Amino acid sequence: MRDSAGGPRVLLRRLRELMAEALDPQERLDHIVREIAQNMVAEVCSLYVLRADSMLELYATEGLNPGAVHLAQLRLGQGLVGTIAASARPLNLSDAQKHPAFTYLPETGEEVYHSFLGVPVLRAGRTLGVLVVQNRTMRHYREDEIEALETVAMVIAEMIATGDLARLTRPGIELDLSRPVSMTGLPFNEGVGLGHVVLHEPRIVVTALFNEDSDDELDRLETALDSLRLSIDDMLSRRDVAFEGEHRAVLEAYRMFANDRGWVRRLKEAINNGLTAEAAVEKVQSDMRARMMHMTDPYLRERMSDFDDLANRLLRQLMGRGPDALAEILPKDAIIVARSMGAAELLDYPRQKLRGLVLEEGAPTSHIVIVARAIGLPTVGQVKGAVSMSENGDAIIVDGEDGQVHLRPQGDVEEAYAEKVRFRARRQKLYQELRDRPTETRDGVPVDLMMNAGLAVDLPQLAQSGAAGIGLFRTELQFMVAAAFPRVEAQERLYREVLEAADGKPVTFRTIDIGGDKVLPYFKGAQHEENPALGWRAIRLTLDRPGLLRTQIRALLKAAGGRELRMMLPMVTEVSEVRQARDIIDREVRHLSRFGYLLPTRLKLGAMIEVPALLWQLEELMQAVDFVSVGSNDLFQFVTATDRGNTRIAERFDPLSVPFLRILRQIVRAGDQYGTPVTLCGELAGRPISAMALLGIGFRSISMAPAAIGPVKAMLCELLLSDLSVVMEEALANHSASTDIRALLRDFANKHSIAL
């Protein structure tokens, strides 16, 4: 076996010089393959580039017939080169022609070569091409030679990604990197967004590829690894609630990976081959990502994503960059692409620049999705592979109506969507015209359409949507976006602002609903819980920490001085909890009145019906409160025992089903019986079809995301409610629990020309 001439360091140095020279792209490639062949003492070095039509085209060669360049091609999966591209793994063969996948391309004249080493050209886990060296003699390439060729492939990946080679493509042919990709997920919030990709966890672009001194780079790597390990240990030793449960498991995985000897060894090898520490992290990670794409085990894929996050953290350590540097250079039509993200993180982006959200995870009633809906962001969730397929700045379209995401769309797709946006604008205009019409059904039944809100940014929507008031103000959102517990003054300020914006329209403030999936990173009181949704949350937590509740009640009472104040308690399980809360409120009222504060003119206290146990206390409850509001997100979660944040079962059961609608109707009836107003403020209120069902079983007030008011009102104005009530009554009384209520509703809508 012959030794390489000069080793990978010399080769990388030569490549660096070649990159800096003023050459045209083909010349540069020709030089590069020649250098590689010489350096690796190979007779052949060839580069194949993957095109959008899944063909691998020969782009440059040293040793094969030069006339075959841009002519010889193999399908993805075909021949040795196609196999390497499809599997994203190297192939090292001493007698290539004996390999079952070997395909002979006569135009190349490669029949005289026996040994073959090919590596995938990878970037961010995507295969962009294949780099091959060949020798006449039968030899087996060494590990360090494979490593060296992979390192060189990384440099070539960079050339492809920066568009250097795009100029060499024939007209009408595109490289795979710029291939349009359409992905399907679940529509989480309607609307269509056209814009450009912003990766929430940006892949850091490594620009300095070659090192000057490997020892220095190894030192930098060690230092960065040390601080990475320390920061993980530090996070693990904190007992914050934010680092419990799932989050803790992820951190444990990080710690394991950060100490993984194989990973560290591969990083060091890449540095010894001449890369900077950053480029080494990028290379090792890209290799792993490419392999991950071929894994089917969801658990392993998930762990690999953790590894990805870890590599990004390490890169940030090395580059001394904060996680949010990108927000500053946000395009004005940003579409955020993320694996998953916290509700508060979304609010960190300037709203006016956001056009849409794409999540690989998420569920329709998870809080990130509720916040996206609150700020009217077209959202598609559960889009597999969205992050790895996207590059910052790629053109992208999010269709929140049918759950489609189009990455790097072609002209005709873009045109179709521009038309869709124009159509929506016309519909929006129709909703605006409807806004000033009375909100009543075709047969004259008035209905209150209220909106849900939670932050000051939502307030302009009150006038724009024509909502009758705020049926649910989620006060915990202020807590979730803050760095520490908001002080009483800050709370009072927000509540006052809300009441002023409402200008006499009713506003229902829900006392803080934290715990469960609404985590406050600064709240030290909570502990790890096996089942947080069933745990210490909402009213349970605030009754145990009356200081928290008292502060909020005081802020509310002061802000509503001289006005009506409506307060609502979340997650009530027993009527006695309402009584305890009322005691605290009464005490605060007495306290403020003693100090001469202006008090609310009227105080109404309501309870949310979210816990099934309340269904057997309706009589007592209706008499103990001034109003109730059904939290259908939680009620449905508990009634059907399906975690509202769990993507796997998100669509499994339908709230528009006989059993759940029977429950809701029972609540309406109990309210009627005791003269207690009943409303519903879960996500069910916001879709025309489910809003129609709610009206049909007796609801006359519902609260939804502001963007839903127009479509729901359009449905309502066409609705003959008396007819629908008969249909629903009959369906819930006589039909079996498996009757398809959704089909029944669609049928009714069709017959009456109601657009759903």
Instruction: From the list Mg ion, ligand PEP, none, pick the one residue 682 interacts with, judged by a Cβ distance below 5 to 8 Å according to partner type.
Output: ligand PEP
Contacts 24+ apart (CB under 8 A), 730-735: 731/658, 732/658, 732/661, 732/662, 732/665, 732/697, 735/658
* The two structure tokens encoding residue 615: 């269904």
User: Measured between alpha carbons, how far is 489 from 451 in angstroms, rounded to an integer?
Assistant: 25
Helices then strands (H, E): number in the chain? 26, 22
Report how far residue 148's alpha carbon sits from residue 684's, in angstroms, rounded to the nearest whole number. Answer: 57
- Between residues 548 and 702, which has the closer beta carbon with respect to ligand PEP? 702
> HEC profile for 112-165?
HCCEEEEEEEEECCEEEEEEEEEECCCCCCCHHHHHHHHHHHHHHHHHHHCCCC
Cβ at position 621, least distance to Mg ion in Å: 17
Residue 706 in contact with Mg ion, rule: CB under 5 A:
no
According to DSSP, the residues that pair with 452 across neighbouring strands are: 472
Considering only residues 618 to 637 of the shown chain, the ones binding Mg ion according to CB under 5 A are 631, 634
Nearest to Mg ion of 120, 682 (CB atom): 682
Q: Which helix (H) or strand (E) holds 183?
A: strand 181-184
Enter the tokens of residue 227. 């601080």
Work out whether the CA dihedral 631, 637, 643, 645 comes out positive or negative. Answer: negative
- Residue 118: which of ligand PEP, Mg ion, none does it interact with, CB under 5 to 8 A by kind? none
649-675: string of b/e by CB count within 10 Å (b at 16+)?
ebeeeebbbbebbebbbebbebbeebe
Q: How far is the CB of 633 from Mg ion (least distance, A)?
A: 5
Nearer to Mg ion, 128 or 608 (CB): 608
Instruction: Find the binding residues for Mg ion in span 225-284 (CB under 5 A).
Output: none
Smallest separation (angstroms) from Mg ion to the CB of 492: 24
Contacts to Mg ion from residues 631-690, by CB under 5 A: 631, 634
The CB-of-515 to Mg ion minimum distance in angstroms stands at: 11
CB of 488 to Mg ion, least distance (A): 25
Q: Please choose which of Mg ion, ligand PEP, none residue 278 contacts, taking the beta carbon within 5 to 8 angstroms, the exact cut-off set by kind.
A: none
| Residue 355 interacts with which of Mg ion, ligand PEP, none, CB < 5 to 8 Å by class | none
> Binding partner of residue 632 among ligand PEP, Mg ion, none, CB under 5 to 8 Å per kind?
ligand PEP
Q: Where are the beta strands (DSSP E) in 266-389?
A: 334-338, 354-359, 379-381
- Report what 190 binds from Mg ion, ligand PEP, none; CB cut-off 5-8 Å by kind: none
Residue type, 349: Y
Residue closer to ligand PEP by CB (options 35, 517) is 517
Nearer CB in complex with ligand PEP: 378/655:
655
Rounded CA separation 208/193 (Å): 35
Residue 185 binds: one of Mg ion, ligand PEP, none (C-beta under 5 to 8 A by kind): none
Beta carbon of residue 240, minimum distance to ligand PEP (angstroms, whole number): 22
Indicate which of ligand PEP, Mg ion, none lies near residue 471 (CB less than 5 to 8 Å, by partner kind). none
**By the criterion CB under 6 A, which residues form the site for ligand PEP?**
370, 472, 474, 513, 610, 631-634, 681-682
Q: Return d(Cα 336, Cα 200) in angstroms, integer.
A: 6
Binding partner of residue 681 among ligand PEP, Mg ion, none, CB cut-off 5 to 8 Å per kind: ligand PEP
The Cα–Cα gap between 690 and 365 comes to 15
On whether the CB atoms of residues 25 and 167 are closer than 8 A, the answer is: yes
Q: Considering only CA atoms, which of 708, 609, 694 is closest in space to residue 374?
A: 708
Choose between 176 and 476: whose C-beta lies nearer to Mg ion: 476
- The partner in contact with residue 360, picked from ligand PEP, Mg ion, none with C-beta cut-offs of 5 to 8 angstroms by kind, is none
Q: State the nearest-atom distance from the C-beta of 631 to Mg ion, in Å.
A: 4
Query: Is 454 a binder of Mg ion (CB under 5 A)?
Result: no
Q: Which is nearer to ligand PEP, 465 or 632 (CB)?
A: 632
**Distance of alpha carbon 198 from alpha carbon 724, whole angstroms:** 45
Instruction: Name the minimum Å distance from CB 683 to Mg ion.
Output: 10
355 vs 510 by CB, closer to ligand PEP: 510
Minimum Å gap between C-beta 699 and Mg ion is 17
The residue among 191 and 631 lying less far from ligand PEP, judged by its C-beta, is 631
Nearer to Mg ion, 279 or 702 (CB): 702
Cβ atoms within 10 A of the Cβ of 325, count?
12
- Smaller CB separation from ligand PEP, 370 or 455: 370
Binding residue count for Mg ion, defined by CB under 5 A:
2
Distance CA 734, CA 736 (A): 7
Phi, psi (rounded to 5 degrees) for 447:
-135, 140
Q: How far is the CB of 483 from ligand PEP (least distance, A)?
A: 22
- CB within 8 Å of 268: residues ≥ 6 apart: 218, 221, 280
Minimum CB separation of residue 431 from ligand PEP in Å reads 23
Nearest-approach distance from CB 681 to Mg ion, in angstroms: 9
Cβ at position 473, least distance to ligand PEP in Å? 11
**CB-nearer residue toward ligand PEP: 123 or 367:** 367
How far apart (Å, rounded) are the C-alpha atoms in residues 261 and 425? 56
Our CB check for ligand PEP shows the closer of 404 and 703 to be 703
What residue 474 binds from ligand PEP, Mg ion, none (CB within 5 to 8 A, per partner kind)? ligand PEP
Q: DSSP characters for 510-545?
A: EPP--BTTB--TT-TT----SSGGGSS-HHHHHHHS
DSSP-derived secondary structure letter, 9: H
Q: Interface with Mg ion by CB under 5 A: which residues?
A: 631, 634
